Structure 1
Amino acid sequence: MPNDAQKIAFLASPTPEAQAALARLTGRYGQHAPEAADVVVALGGDGFMLQTLHATTELPVPTYGMNRGTVGFLMNEYEEDDLLWRLAAAEEAVINPLKMVATRGDGSQVEALAINEVSLLRAGPQAARLRIAVDGRIRMEELVCDGALLATPAGSTAYNYSAHGPILPIGSEVLALTAMSAFRPRRWRGALLPKRARVRFDVLDAGKRPMMAEADGFSVRDVVRVEVASDAEVRHRLLFDPGHGLEERLLREQFT
């Protein structure tokens, strides 16, 4: 049975569709601040879901998304009826984000969390040159490319998949290291790494071949070193309708 007293915090993207849904749902189910709620319901697309998860990192409540955007890979179908029943029956998936520590040329450091991926991208006309180390051991002395990224299973169907990286099962405990337009080594597409791995990217010849780093769209320019590892202390709790969880979605994506 659903808890009729369940406190819901509705958050919506600024699109007209999401704002209209927000008005209808809050009128029907009430509205609470996220810090006083039992569950957060995000109305929008995948980008807004990532924003919501980042904004509620410090809160222990789960997040249930309803698609008012486009792809909606992290969202459930939009339906206004029986929301309390759906929340009560929902399956939970727990995601640990990646922690990025980016060092700029002036020695300053910027930290950020990424639920999908941390990516390094060339910021000039010439191909970038990277050295890659895993757990303190250099695994590739030089990767000449447009960029490289480290993706979580939850993010493996996003930018990683567009760069021809593998789709990872949500419970696989691995990360995908994927190159973008690798020129040397020829045809190198990347590697699968244990979830506990600590990856370090050193930008070679940064003055001539500048790079930027991004963590779920948060950008840091003029980086010379980027260190990435899973942050086991941060747990994002996502809710999905039964039979439509992340595991099923990842499987379905591979046969589409």
Structure 2
Amino acid sequence: MAEFDPGALALSVSDSDRAQAAAAELVGLHPWVPFDRADTVVVVGGDGYMLHVLHQMLEAGRVVPAYGVNLGTFGFLMNKHRDAGKLLGRIAKARAVMVHPLVMDAVTQGGETHRHCAINEVSLFRETRQTARIEISVNDKVRIKEMTGDGVLVATPAGSTAYNFSANGPILPLDSGLLALTPLSPFRPRRWRGAILPNDSRVTFRVLEPDKRPVSVVADQKEVRDIAEVRVAISEDVRLQLLFDPGHALDDRIVAEQFTF
């Protein structure tokens, strides 16, 4: 297997004390370059910070491979923090995993449209004590006329072990070509536990009784409130690359997570 050529490397570090301390060991190891000149970025922090960096790439329109060093809690999108002196060798042996984000178009009750990308999931939530009432369509066909509950989400394979999993949604292997559609504390339909969809599916949510039962939507870290309709689909044109050490790739973790109790 050919080694990965990272080219010019940038270093991006979260502001946590642990990440800053680890970065101090890395600074002198390599002639790091600014991100706008980098071919690869080393991300030091946790999953949340990795998502932040990936979203920065999407917003800047400049996407490069990202190698994560875990100094957070779970580190599902990261690699283990080990001997700093061996970092460059580990990057050269890393395996690239392609991740396609979701694109969300949210229309508010006032008629404004907001577009955001989500690497993990797009989630709809009730805003008040009133349960949400949501119509769910897939590829322009209504599949559920009225779902009543706390909300509903669409997760990518990369995000299927995050909030989706905690909501009893399925874990999806990265190469499955699937999306998870998972309800949040559903009251009606009482027996509906979600669906697994092909990743070329277009999912539309229409909020019923939005004045009485307002709903917000969150695409990873971006929130839009008082929505009327949300359209979600995979962005086939955008590909993010995450780099993982051999034996610690994301698809391996997805399998392992299903046997963790």
Identify the TM-score tier after normalising by the shorter chain: over 0.9
- Report the equivalent of 1:64: 67
Distance in 2 separating the partners of 1:5 and 1:132: 43
Q: Does 1:139 align with 2:140?
A: no
Residue 68 of structure 1, CA deviation: 0.6
Could you tell me which runs of 5 or more consecutive residues in structure 1 were left unpaired when the two chains were aligned: none
Q: C-alpha offsets along residues 116-141 of structure 1, whole Å, 9 cap, x if unaligned?
A: 00000000111000000000100010
CA contact (8 A) 2:137 2:203 kept: yes
Are 1:37 and 2:38 matched, yes or no? yes
Q: Deviations over 1:166-224 (max 9, x none)?
A: 00001000000000000001131100011000000000000000000000021000001
Structure 1: which 4+ aligned runs deviate by more than 6 Å?
1-5
How many residue pairs get matched?
256
Matched, 1:104 2:108: yes
Q: Is 1:2–1:84's contact at 8 Å kept on the other side of the alignment?
A: no
Does 2:178 match 1:174? yes
The answer on whether the counterparts of 2:6 and 2:39 sit within 8 Å (CA) in structure 1 is no
Distance 1:48 1:128 in 2: 31
In structure 2, the CA distance between the partners of 1:158 and 1:3, relative to structure 1 (3 Å rule), is closer
Query: 1:155: how far off?
Result: 0.1
1:208 corresponds in structure 2 to 212
Where do 5+ consecutive residues of structure 2 fail to align? none
Q: Please say if residues 177 and 191 of structure 1, whose CA atoms lie closer than 8 Å, have aligned partners that are also in contact.
A: yes
Aligned position for 1:20: 21
3-state DSSP of counterpart to 1:82 = helix
Confirm or deny: 8 A CA contact 1:9 1:41 kept in the other structure: yes
Give the secondary structure class of the aligned counterpart of 1:75.
coil
Would the aligned equivalents of 2:6 and 2:92 in 1 still touch at CA under 8 Å? Answer: no
The residue matched to 1:55 in structure 2 has which SS?
helix
- Counterparts of 1:112-123 in structure 2, within 5 Å, are 112-123=116-127
Could you tell me which residue of structure 2 aligns to residue 155 of structure 1?
A: 159
Percent same amino acid at aligned positions?
Answer: 50
- Aligned-pair RMSD on alpha carbons? 1.5
CA 3–30 in structure 1, closer or farther in 2 if over 3 Å, else same: farther
Residue equivalent to 1:250: 254
Q: What is the rounded CA distance, in whole Å, between the counterparts of 1:188 and 1:86 in structure 2?
A: 45
Task: State the TM-score, normalizing by the size of structure 1.
Answer: 0.97
Secondary structure of 1:249's counterpart equals helix
